[in-house]
């Protein structure tokens, strides 16, 4: 009874702040917000209200109220996190940013864009292109994922090898703190060493330190031209050596991604694009820059691939062929979903020299636990995504997956790597963070969290199992 009164007070307060049309509170609606792209359904821990703010002032008022009443608040953009990062784990309020979706300005002289957290990444990229500018971060689900979530996870994507990830493009954030203050962490200058780098503290913090209500983003000139190719190999060793040889020949491809045999076969059966299905692996390579510089790089890459026993190389001859290769690459997660009711994608990262033992180890672990696995990822960054297809309703399969996941994380750590390169920790990997980071660093991180969020209301139970 008490809980019901409390809930209705909360909903009423939210409606006062943002208007009744911007608050959801029916059980059905709250259930929808109890999941993301992780296979975790959180029906026991539903939020009490989903709120759609439209200004930083509204977010500030919500946070002041939540702080006073010690109510948990989870920020959510598109809800596509694959680590349970935006799930409510202690009831409370979900702040859905999909209605704060304005691109405020693009300043071509300063190479800066200002935008709100609900802007879809693809829209941001297209808007930048109108000014001949380029925003490189490109998570594969860029058609739906949004700026706020991608900043809070420091999302990457295929172009990170040459251009870096989201963290390399954020120069200022408007943040609403746990107790409702609105502050800016940086300024409009792309260079800034005035004080601590608070901007980078909030990037990748998974909504656990503050709420992002606006970002200033560094843009770069759009490359004049690009060329996309797929080179096929019969062994992982040849594939990996090719990557090293390309780099040691002073070529930095804008993309250099690995697609393994299972991924090629699964993707081809889902979206036929003419990929060769009998090869051990393919490298998706894109080079970009001035038109005049591409031929020389292209010829050198072809020579290196051939020297490393690649006997078939497909080069896109038209923008349509390029697009077909990209659709195929971006479909790999969805294609894996054809194999079983659930797909879990992991995100381990190792120094590039350890890629071959990592990929072979993943295959060995998954085959021992009888799990169907398609492996792809950003080989240039040492960041590999095993997409594991399974039926989580089957208890034995679920237990096997949990054991395999544990071994996978330990394998990556033993190869001088870590748990996540770009997807984040959320609640899916939080039990393993103590193995990946030393105790002093964990303790420092928890102190920072406590300082910025003394009541532990910002996205609780994420990154660390529980902040005491
Ligand atoms: C098919 C598929 C492909 C993917 N491919 C990639 C990929 O190539 N590279 C990659 O890096 N990731 C990838 N992802 C993972 C993920 O979708 C991306 O990282 C994405 O950018 C998250 O954006 P989102 O808007 O969905 O965030 P959400 O899932 O809504 O939120 C993610 C995190 O950000 C926090 N957050 C959201 N908004 C705010 C805010 N305003 N203030 C503070 N915190 C906030 C949330 O609390 C949560 O912790 C993929 C996911 C899927 C399902």
Q: Which helix (H) or strand (E) holds 374?
A: strand 372-378
Q: Looking at residues 242-249, what average pLDDT do you find?
A: 97
423 ligand 1 Cβ < 6 A: yes
Q: Which residues pair with 380 in a beta bridge?
A: none
Q: How many CA atoms lie within 13 A of 271 on its CB side?
A: 17
Please give the CATH topology (third level) of the domain spanning 225-333: Alpha-Beta Plaits (3.30.70)
pLDDT tens digits, 50-93 = 999 999 999 999 999 999 999 999 999 999 999 999 999 989 99
Give the mean model confidence (pLDDT) for residues 377-387: 96
Write out 82-146 in H/E/C secondary structure. Answer: CCCCCCCCCCCEEEEHHHCCCEEEEECCCCEEEECCCCEHHHHHHHHHHCCEECCCCCCCCCCCE
Tokens representing 190?
């792309």
Q: Provide the percentage of residues in the chain whose pLDDT is more than 90.
A: 91
Assigned token pair, 157? 């994507």
* Residue 97 Cβ contacting ligand 1 at under 6 Å: yes
Domain 101-221 identical in fold to domain 339-434: no
pLDDT interval class at 100 (50, 70, 90): very high
What is the model's pLDDT at position 410?
97
pLDDT of residue 188: 95
Closest ligand 1 atom to Cα of 85 = 49
Tens digits of residue pLDDT in 279-337: 999 999 999 999 999 999 999 999 999 999 999 999 999 999 999 999 888 888 889 98
Instruction: Judge whether residue 270 has pLDDT over 90.
Output: no
Choose among 70, 71, 72, 74: nearest CA to 87. Answer: 74
Residue 384 has pLDDT above 90, yes or no: yes
pLDDT confidence of residue 271: 87
Q: What is the mean pLDDT of residues 259-277?
A: 93
Cα separation, 143 vs 139, in Å, equals: 9
Token pair of 249 as six digits: 């020949």
Give one DSSP letter per residue of 205-239, joined into a string: STTSS-EEEEEEEE-EEPPSEEEEEEEEESSHHHH
pTM of the model: 0.95
Verify whether ligand 1 is closer than 6 Å to residue 140 (CB atom): yes
Position 39 scores a pLDDT of 79
Which of the two residues, 194 and 6, has the higher pLDDT score?
A: 194
CATH number (3.40.50.300, 1.10.1040.10, 3.30.70.2740, 2.60.120.700) of 339-434 reads 3.30.70.2740
Q: Please identify, in words, the CATH class of the domain defined by 2-98.
A: alpha beta
When the candidates are 1.10.150.120, 3.40.1350.10, 3.40.640.10, 3.30.465.10, the CATH number that belongs to 101-221 is 3.30.465.10
User: Please, which pLDDT band fits residue 2 given cuts at 50, 70 and 90?
Assistant: very low
HEC readout, 43-86: HHHCCCEEECCCCHHHHHHHHHHHHHHCCCEEEECCCCCCCCCC
Residue ranges covered by each domain of the chain: 2-98, 101-221, 225-333, 339-434
Cα gap 79→149, rounded to integer Å? 8
Give which of 229, 287, 226, 289 is closest to 259, Cα–Cα.
Answer: 229
Sign of CA dihedral 464, 465, 466, 468: negative
Q: What is the pLDDT of residue 45?
A: 86
Which residue's CA lies nearest to atom 37 of ligand 1?
149
Least confident of 3-17, 53-67, 250-264, 297-311: 3-17
Instruction: Quote the pLDDT of residue 399.
Output: 96
Ligand 1 centroid to Cα of residue 120, in Å, is 11
């Amino acid at each position: 009874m008490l809980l019901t009164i409390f809930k209705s007070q909360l909903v009423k307060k939210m409606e006062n702040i943002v208007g009744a049309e911007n608050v959801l509170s029916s059980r059905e609606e709250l259930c929808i917000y109890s999941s993301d792209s992780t296979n975790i359904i959180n029906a026991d821990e539903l939020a009490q209200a989903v709120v759609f703010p439209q200004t930083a002032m509204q977010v500030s008022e919500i946070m002041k109220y939540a702080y006073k009443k010690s109510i948990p608040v989870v920020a959510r953009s598109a809800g596509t996190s694959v680590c349970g990062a935006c799930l409510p784990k202690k009831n409370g309020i979900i702040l859905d940013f999909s209605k704060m979706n304005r691109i405020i300005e693009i300043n071509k002289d300063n190479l800066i864009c200002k935008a709100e957290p609900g802007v879809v990444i693809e829209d941001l990229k297209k808007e930048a292109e109108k000014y001949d500018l380029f925003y490189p971060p490109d998570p594969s689900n860029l058609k739906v994922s949004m700026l706020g979530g991608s900043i809070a996870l420091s999302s990457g994507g295929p172009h990170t090898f040459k251009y870096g990830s989201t963290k390399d493009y954020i120069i200022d954030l408007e943040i609403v703190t746990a107790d409702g203050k609105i502050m800016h962490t940086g300024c409009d200058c792309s260079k800034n060493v005035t004080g601590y780098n608070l901007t980078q503290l909030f990037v990748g913090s998974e909504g656990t330190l503050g709420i992002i209500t606006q970002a200033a983003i560094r843009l770069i000139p759009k490359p004049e031209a690009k060329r996309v190719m797929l080179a096929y190999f019969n062994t992982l060793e040849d594939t990996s050596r090719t990557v090293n040889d390309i780099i040691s020949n002073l070529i930095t491809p804008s993309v250099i991604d690995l697609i393994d045999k299972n991924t090629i076969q699964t993707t081809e059966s889902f979206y036929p694009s003419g990929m060769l299905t009998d090869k051990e692996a393919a490298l998706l390579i894109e080079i970009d820059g001035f038109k005049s510089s591409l031929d020389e790089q292209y010829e050198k890459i072809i020579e290196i691939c051939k020297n490393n026993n690649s006997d078939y190389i497909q080069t896109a001859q038209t923008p349509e062929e390029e697009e077909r290769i990209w659709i195929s690459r971006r479909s790999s997660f969805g294609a894996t979903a054809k194999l079983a009711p659930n797909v879990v994608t992991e995100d381990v990262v190792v120094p590039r020299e350890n890629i071959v033992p990592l990929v072979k180890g993943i295959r060995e672990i998954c085959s021992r636990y009888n799990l169907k696995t398609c492996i792809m990822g950003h080989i240039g960054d040492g960041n590999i995504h095993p997409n594991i297809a399974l039926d989580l309703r089957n208890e034995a399969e679920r237990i096997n997956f949990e054991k395999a996941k544990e071994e996978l994380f330990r394998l990556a750590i033993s190869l001088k790597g870590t748990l996540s390169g770009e997807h984040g920790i959320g609640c899916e990997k939080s039990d393993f963070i103590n193995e990946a980071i030393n105790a002093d660093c964990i303790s420092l991180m928890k102190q920072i969290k406590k300082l910025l969020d003394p009541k532990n209301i910002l996205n609780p139970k994420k990154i660390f199992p529980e902040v005491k």
